[in-house]
Amino acid sequence: MSPHSSEDEAARIAQLTEVFRRLGAPPAQAATMARQLWKRSGQLALERDIPRVEALEHLLRLAISGVHGEAPLQSAQEKE
């Protein structure tokens, strides 16, 4: 781990917290969601052998579609 990685991680989590806050989550909940999303993006990146930014983008799209009441595309296809 580089010496700046924890600073970078904190900055990313702060950015994600702001995204969730703007989507309507209360500050404490937004921070929790941001930490969870960041952690899951790392797990997903390892599972799928993809860059973390790609995993994060995927998870953010899912979260945002959920806020708008949209079902994830995969779930809709599975029902057919």
pLDDT value for 80? 39
Sign of the CA dihedral with 48 first, then 51, 55, and 61 last: negative
CA distance linking residue 25 with residue 3, whole number of Å: 31
CA distance linking residue 47 with residue 65, whole number of Å: 23
Q: Please indicate, yes or no, whether the overall pTM of this predicted structure exceeds 0.85.
A: no
Mean pLDDT of 10-14: 95
